[in-house]
Chain A
Amino acid sequence: MSETNDSLETIVQLSARHLTRHFTTRVHGRFATTKRVVRAVDDVSLDLSTGRVTAVVGESGSGKSVLARMLARIVKPSSGELSLEGTPIAVGARRTIDYASKVQLVLQDPFASNNPVHRVRHSLERPLLLHGANKGDVEELAKAALARVSLEPPERFLDRYPHELSGGQLQRVSIARALCVRPSVLLADEPISMLDVSVRLGILNLLRGLCDEEHLAVMYITHDIASARYLADETIVMYAGQIVERSQGTALVDAPTHPYTQLLIASVPNPSDPMSQAREKGEHSTFAIADVGCRFAPRCPYAMDVCRTTDPPDFQVGEGHTSRCWLHANEPEAVVEVALPERRREGETTKT
Chain B
Amino acid sequence: MSIKRLDPAPMDEERDSPRLVMPPTTRSEFVLDVKNFSVDYGTGDQMVRAVNDVSLTLRRSTVLGVAGESGSGKSTFVYAMTRLLRAPGLISGGTVNLHTTTKGEIGEEVLDLVTASEKELRKIRWSHVAIVLQSALSALDPVVRIAREFDEVLKTHRPEMSKKQRRERAEALLATVGLNEDRLDRFPHELSGGQRQRVMIALALALDPELVIMDEPTTALDVVTQREIINELQDLRSRFDFAMIFITHDLSLLVELADEIVVMYAGSIVERAPANELYEAPRHPYTLGLLNSFPPMHGARQELTGIPGSPPDLSNLPIGCKFHPRCSYAMARCVHDEPPLVSVGDTGRSVACWLHVEGAERPVPVELSRRVTSSNTSDTGGGAS
A residues with a Cβ closer than 8 A to B are 1-3, 59-60, 166-169, 196-202, 204-205, 223-227, 229-230, 250, 253-254, 263-272, 274, 277, 279-280, 283-284, 286-287
Contacts and interface: CB of A to CB of B under 8 A. Distances in A.
A267 B252 CA distance: 12
A147 to B, nearest CB: 17
14 contacts: A1-B303, A59-B223, A59-B225, A167-B70, A197-B290, A198-B293, A199-B306, A229-B295, A264-B223, A268-B297, A270-B252, A270-B256, A271-B255, A286-B192
A230 B195 CA distance: 31
A196 B311 contact: yes
A269 to B, nearest CB: 4
A237 to B, nearest CB: 12
A197 B305 CA distance: 12
A230 B301 contact: yes
Given A59-B222, A198-B306, A267 B297 contact: no
Given A197-B251, A229-B297, A286-B195, A169 B310 contact: yes
B349 interface: no
Nearest to B311: A196
B178 A283 contact: yes
B310 A199 contact: yes
Contacts of A283: 178, 180
B108 interface: no
Contact of A277 (B231, B251, B326, B375): B231
Interface in B270-294: 279, 289-290, 293-294
Given A60-B222, A270-B256, A198 B228 contact: no
B310 A168 contact: yes
B119 interface: no
Given A223-B223, A229-B297, A1 B302 contact: yes
B226 A267 contact: yes
Instruction: List the 9 closest A-B pairs by CB distance, nearest first.
Output: A201-B306, A230-B295, A271-B255, A267-B227, A198-B307, A59-B222, A166-B310, A196-B69, A269-B253
Contacts of A205: 303-306
Of A2, A266, A269, A283, most buried by chain B (CB within 10 Å of CB) is A269
A138 to B, nearest CB: 27
Interface in B214-266: 222-228, 230-231, 249-253, 255-256
B256 A202 contact: no
A229 B300 CA distance: 10
Nearest to A57: B223
Given A60-B222, A277-B227, A269 B252 contact: yes
B297 A226 contact: yes
A302 B290 CA distance: 37
B373 interface: yes
A159 to B, nearest CB: 18
Contacts of B227: 266-267, 277, 280
Given A198-B289, A267-B224, A274-B256, A284 B194 contact: yes
Contact of A230 (B194, B290, B304): B304
Interface string B307-330: 110110000000000000010000
Interface in B63-87: 69-70
B296 interface: yes
A264 B224 contact: yes
A51 B193 CA distance: 37
A3 B250 CA distance: 28
Of A2, A201, A270, A271, most buried by chain B (CB within 10 Å of CB) is A271
Nearest to B308: A202
B256 A280 contact: no
Contact of A226 (B294, B311, B373): B294
Interface in B328-359: none
A202 B223 CA distance: 22
Contacts of A199: 306-307, 310-311
Given A169-B310, A223-B222, A271-B255, A279 B295 contact: no
Contacts of B194: 284
Contacts of A253: 297
Contact of B228 (A204, A272, A284): A284
A201 B293 contact: yes
A118 B249 CA distance: 30
A198 B252 CA distance: 13
Given A267-B224, A274-B255, 20 more contacts: A2-B301, A59-B223, A59-B225, A168-B310, A196-B70, A197-B290, A198-B69, A198-B293, A202-B308, A223-B222, A223-B223, A225-B223, A226-B295, A229-B297, A230-B304, A263-B224, A266-B227, A267-B226, A267-B227, A280-B228
Contacts of A196: 69-70, 249, 311
Given A199-B311, A201-B293, A250 B224 contact: no
B267 to A, nearest CB: 15
A198 B297 contact: no
Given A197-B290, A274-B256, A277-B227, A202 B301 contact: no
A266 B256 CA distance: 13
Nearest to A263: B224
B373 A272 contact: yes
Nearest to B381: A1
B224 A280 contact: yes
B5 interface: no
A67 B180 CA distance: 34
Nearest to A279: B231
B305 A201 contact: yes
A204 B304 CA distance: 10
B164 interface: no
